Chain A
Amino acid sequence: MPIGAVELPSRGHWAPSFAIPRGRSSPSPITKTKSPAEFFAENKNIAGFDNPGKSLYTTVRELVENSLDSAESISELPVVEITIEEIGKSKFNSMIGLVDRERVDTKLYDDYETEKARERRLAKEARAQELQAKNAALGKKVKEPSATKGAKGRGEASFYRVTCKDNGKGMPHDDIPNMFGRVLSGTKYGLKQTRGKFGLGAKMALIWSKMSTGLPIEISSSMRSHNFISFCKLDIDIHRNIPHVHLHEKRENKDRWHGAEIQVVIEGNWTTYRSKILHYMRQMAVITPYAQFLFKFVSEVAEKNVTIRFSRRTDVMPPVPVETKHHPSSVDLLLIKGLIAETSKGTLLQFLQHEFVNIGKSLAERLIGEMGPEFSPKMAVKSLTSQQIVRIHQLFRQAKFDDPSGGCLSPAGEYNLRLGIIKELHPDMVATYSGSAQVFEGHPFIVEAGVSVGGKDVKQGLNIFRFANRIPLLFEQGGDVVTRTAMKRINWSSYKINQTQDKIGVFVSIVSTKIPFKGTGKEYIGDDTKEIASAVKCCIQLKSKIVRKIQDREQQERKRNLSRYVPDATYAVYDVLKEISKFHASKKRRYEEEEEDVLRKVQSRSITKETLKEMLAQYVEKVDYEMALEYATQSGVNEEPREAIYIQALEDGYNFTDLHSSNFVFRFIQ
């Protein structure tokens, strides 16, 4: 394969055509071939490397998703450690062997402060200080003076070392250079639900590191069977799209670790993308509760450090998604040609029968009959002309096929989604739903949804969590089908949920062999795909479940809610009674005997506020008891099915003191 020619992107659905730029300003008539690596370097925004901040975010997520894929592929519960280390300028310089130089000609720099500007700044600072002193004297809360950073010049980039370690499959020693140092070098063929966006993974991070810091990427890896660790230090030759290996060696594997550890130094921006990265980790923890994440941010300034552990809450892992064949109504012309080129089958009949799902022998024969007289079941598939392939394509689009099954998909699972929500949000209540497989343009998809109310660190109103193929989507929320459905098409008040006051979490996870992303960034799913929109709507309408939960909660809280109003009501009544009894003395008005009696008692203070309050409270108690009884007889005692809980195993090396009973044992760690 010549350099520059590209295989079909394996995981991607997005086939970039590396068209040759013609007749730009260059006078040379020779057309220049552009390597895929070059293409992505120039269009890095497509892969989510728009700016340093987003690049840091995308690097983290690519590494994390690779790690999860890798661990899941060998059915290992994932343990992922991700560390972002801030690197100061001088440290960075020393890393690349550059000597720190003092500025000599200060006026040369962009952030040079003129005399006037300096005066102004000093005056402003003095004022601020004065104000602060005043505030402090008045005992007001003193606000931390915002870090007076000078406007960062362009030269003041921040650099970060991102390290991601997992317990996955690892990589074969000899393949490592090509896996990282060549863009779109995948060889897989077929269709599968995958996390990755473009199949670029860490490669794009490598290109970015090459562009921003020039430092190589470091990879350590070991596979289960290996007794050594492969260590590789490499960068990429962007123009030729080949790896440039600095160091590739085998090292000792003392603690029988398997997995991969990737370390890359890139330019980034932690300040602006901090919350995005943390959100990403949190949402990832929601959708993959069976994984354990350790996220660390290490900075030179100690108080900026962040360490978050997202612990494992279950050991149930969704099955590994199965590779499947293409559905005839989903293929395009190019793909048919590609399949023909790759197939091992000789005849057209066999080709149709074996390279596609939902085409049986009889259907294949019928299809060939329909194609026209120049087609026959026995004809060699490789001999098809372009016109004939177009005919096949046309027929595929028009003919009716059974829908593909969702068997090849790997949804998060209702259980896991629910656990994830409970684990990360601690909601007051949660309801989840898992839809059955449906079809969009020949690709099966499954929608799962959850709705939570209340919880920790959840803001008021709708909080929408979107997942596509089990990865969180954080950007471009506004146009997304989930957001729009939740905001516009769901009548929350019919669930007795207040859309603006309650803390509502909406979780929607869509898995498919092809997610119909919109926009170049692949960050949101279009609202115009009706099938998905209606599936999402169905899912979020967990009406019966939510209403039931709310009823349950109301039952529990009825007494409290009723009692809350007892004082207000009784005081109001008593106020009037007191007034009446005052005037009653003057006998302005005649009352019935019982009323007279009440008024006399009020006057003699044998009926007081407290009497009324007590009586009303007693009544509430009585009613509550009656209603609870009624509710119990109506709804029966069918509680929710019990769920197995997962208790994380302790690591070895503890001494226990056991306290035995006939039914259980208490173990205390010494």
Chain B
Amino acid sequence: MADKKLKQKRRRPDPTSDDESELPFKNILKPDQAILETLKQLFLAATTTTTAAANGASTSSSSSKPLTLSDLSLSATCREVTDLSLSAVQSTIETLILQIARSILAGNGFSFQVPSRASSNQLYVPELDRIVLKDKTTLRPFASLSTVRKSTITVKILSLIHQLCLRNIHVTKRDLFYTDVKLFQDQTQSDAVLDDVACILGCTRSSLNVIAAEKGVVVGRLIFSDNGDMIDCTKMGMGGKAIPPNIDRVGDMQSDAMFILLVEKDAAYIRLAEDRFYNRFPCIIVTAKGQPDVATRLFLRKMKMELKLPVLALVDSDPYGLKILSVYGCGSKNMSYDSANLTTPDIKWLGIRPSDLDKYKIPEQCRLPMTEQDIKTGKDLLEEDFVKKNPGWVEELNLMVKTKQKAEIQALSSFGFQYLSEVYLPLKLQQKDWL
């Protein structure tokens, strides 16, 4: 209905009114109060389903206590890791090292059974809506030319983690790499083995006390404690609060927000933060500046679980935008062993969706033709289970592959830099236009 009105207006050329129509669609925006009403409905829907789930009528999509692997009787056994305490990690390492030592002393060398993290060993479980790791393992013997390096690095990392456990400190992945640059050669190698070690020990990467540098930021109606300090994310200036790399020191989350807005890009995040979008519509804004790191994913999940807020995502209208969305939602293949802790269920795709390009009349010069690689990625995504389960997404992706056009969030800036926060997002919220 609103659409119709709008189209009539657009068809009639009206050169006199250049003050209001400068921002297209602004005139159909209802007052904020009305939009807040719709948001309230969304908020209530999210909380009620949670309570319903708590009452036992569990639905897989948005329940706060989701199914676990053990609840499902899957044909293939799957591997999952849990958070382990430091002392547990320590004693697991000790047992492992003692085994190795005895094997060496017995003259048998040593080898590791490493859970394979290859894509052939991944499984998307629709009931859980995330990727999990199957139980295939590979042998990593010391006495083979192809694995001698890796097995040596594995021992080295184990011994380093053991030290961390003893001293009860955290180090970054970079620190870890610099302990023996000569052996590790480059950081990707030590990082990869670190994930292997987490798999071998059966614990999450965060339980190894190794963290990555801060990447994600959060701003908005959120108060939480970081290592005992209370942080008010409305009073963090324009840049917001960096998401702490180790989630275990985060706690006491409080919020009066109605939803969480997940933003792919730093640029859009800065726009929203500067415009104090979260004051107009109470929300929490999060970005990981591209592909999300572990900390941001953990943080998002924690917010979702504790505050029971709906999550709306604002990503680019290209295959990578959707991919990033999928990493938040279903987990990455590389970290699938810990997907239970890293994924946030029920993320809504708010924008920018391929259908928005025409709907919001984004001018041609702001759209980019998709490269062949893009199209291929798009078609590959269409084959992925996590896309298929959502018919709306399939439709959008089909449209993207068909029109061969992509657009970034910044394409909206062609209507003015503040179009995103002033018109686009409010309108989207008003129309409940998410999938």
Contact = CB atoms under 8 A, between A and B. Distances in A.
Nearest to B180: A568
A153 B311 CA distance: 73
Interface string B165-187: 01000000000000010010000
Given A558-B145, A562-B143, A568-B152, A576 B158 contact: yes
A115 interface: no
B414 interface: no
Contact of A598 (B102, B108, B148, B152): B102
Interface in B118-160: 142-143, 145, 148-149, 151-152, 155-156, 158-159
Contacts of B105: 598, 607, 611-612, 615
Interface string A546-578: 000000001000100110010011101101110
Contact of B101 (A565, A568, A573, A579): A573
Contact of B159 (A572, A611, A612): A572
Interface of B: 91, 93-94, 97-98, 100-102, 104-105, 107-110, 142-143, 145, 148-149, 151-152, 155-156, 158-159, 162-163, 166, 180, 183
Contacts of B110: 569, 616
Given A576-B93, A580-B94, A618-B107, A569 B101 contact: no
Interface of A: 554, 558, 561-562, 565, 568-570, 572-573, 575-577, 579-580, 589, 591, 594-595, 598-599, 607, 611-612, 615-616, 618-620, 622-623
Given A573-B97, A612-B105, A620-B109, 9 more contacts: A568-B155, A568-B183, A572-B152, A572-B155, A573-B159, A577-B97, A580-B94, A615-B107, A619-B104
A623 B155 contact: no
Given A615-B104, A623-B109, A576 B145 contact: no
A569 B112 CA distance: 13
Secondary structure at chain B's binding surface: helix, strand, loop or mixed? helix
A572 B98 CA distance: 12
Contacts of B151: 565, 569
A585 B183 CA distance: 32
Contacts of B145: 554, 558, 561-562
Contacts of A623: 109, 143
B356 to A, nearest CB: 38
A612 B109 CA distance: 10
Contacts, number: 91
Contact of B142 (A558, A565, A580, A622): A565
Contact of A576 (B94, B109, B152): B94
B152 A569 contact: yes
B152 A575 contact: no
Nearest to A561: B145
Given A562-B143, A569-B142, A580-B97, A619 B159 contact: no
B101 A561 contact: no
Nearest to B153: A568
B185 to A, nearest CB: 11
Contacts of B101: 573, 577, 598, 607, 612
A564 to B, nearest CB: 8
Contact of B104 (A579, A612, A622): A612
9 contacts: A562-B142, A573-B97, A575-B162, A576-B93, A576-B158, A589-B91, A591-B98, A598-B102, A615-B105
Contacts of A558: 145
A556 B144 CA distance: 14
Given A580-B94, A591-B98, A598-B98, A573 B104 contact: yes
Contacts of B109: 616, 619-620, 623
A579 B101 CA distance: 14
Contacts of B156: 568-569, 572
A376 B109 CA distance: 87
Contacts of B162: 575-576, 579
Nearest to B149: A565
B172 to A, nearest CB: 20
Contacts of A620: 109, 142-143
Contacts of A595: 98, 102
